[in-house]
Amino acid sequence: MSPPLRIDPIAEARRHWTARWGGRPARPMAAVTSIMRAQQVLLARLNGLLRPYGLTFPRYEALMLLSFTRTGALPLGKIGERLQVHRTSVTNIVDKLEADGLVRRVPHANDRRATLAAITDEGRETAARATAALNDAAFGIDALCSDEQEAVTALLRALRVDAGDFVDGP
């Protein structure tokens, strides 16, 4: 890891932006660059926390999604929809989880072309232990207090609606 910079690189970029293009475009630039960097920091932390459980964050997310379903199983296509990742990524995620004994593939009862991923007992146990570790570490975001975390969630919700992730409603 590099030593800390003496200046905030995003504040520095904002200064250049404002000088050339004015304050208006500098604001979204700073916000978006901040989100990019935050994601990079958090993903490294989450993957570090999950490594002892043999998981990465995308595999952890898939495991949790399955654990929350009534039957513990979902068609692969549905997993992709819910995690908003491509079909090939879902295949890779499920391949690795299956190789580790955390899920198994089972045929769909009503649709011969579809395959389900079903969480195993070992998968549930691993998911529970990994979740305890992530909860203890506040998902790597304990530099923000609880109210600030809630503010981030609320602010970014509009972007997720705008991206068509879900239908905004009451």
Cβ-based nearer residue to a second copy, 118 or 141:
141
Compute the chain's Rg from CA coordinates: 20
Cβ-based nearer residue to a second copy, 106 or 161:
161
Q: Is 52 in the site for a second copy (CB under 8 A)?
A: no
> Per-residue contact track with a second copy, 62 to 91, x per CB under 8 A?
--x---x-----------xxx-x-------
> Per-residue contact track with a second copy, 101 to 120, x per CB under 8 A?
--------------------
Crossing angle of helices 76-83 and 87-99, in 10° steps, is 110
List all residues 6 or more positions away from 26 whose beta carbon is below 8 Å from its beta carbon.
Answer: 14, 17, 18
Q: What are phi and psi of 116, to 5 degrees?
A: -100, 150
Smallest CA-to-CA distance from 108 within 69, 65, 66, 75 is with 75
User: Which residues of this chain interact with a second copy, rule CB under 8 A?
Assistant: 1-2, 4-10, 12-13, 16, 21, 24-25, 27-32, 34-43, 46, 57, 64, 68, 80-82, 84, 131, 134-135, 138-144, 146, 148-153, 155-167
